[in-house]
Amino acid sequence: MLGLLNNIAEVEGLRSRLMINEFISTLSKLMHSSHIDVSYFAAGIVAHLASCDNEEWKADCIDKNTLMGDLVSSVKPATFYGQWTDSHIL
């Protein structure tokens, strides 16, 4: 299901339809899932949604910058189980 939602989030014209507070809050939690496939797709969806301009950001449960920080913190620990260093993450 998250894979399908990730595909929808890739389409610029459809992103606003995913800007639902409950969905954004759920994605924020799912990015920290212990299941790599769940966290991968949740982070992908967040990355697509965060590519919207600030004026297009419709979620008021969390601001865009906070969610982006959450995205970074969810991805950084998973950097191929320590095989990469911080210099590889940008």
Q: Express each pLDDT in 5-14 by its tens digit.
A: 999 999 999 9
pLDDT band of residue 57 (cuts 50, 70, 90) is: confident
Q: d(Cα 20, Cα 27) in Å, to the nearest integer?
A: 11
Tokens 């939690």 sit on residue: 29
CB-based contact 19:46 (threshold 8 Å): no
- Asked whether residue 83 carries a pLDDT value surpassing 50, the answer given is no
Which of 81, 22, 18 lies closest to 46, judged by CA? 18
Q: Express each pLDDT in 29-55 by its tens digit.
A: 999 888 888 999 999 999 999 898 878
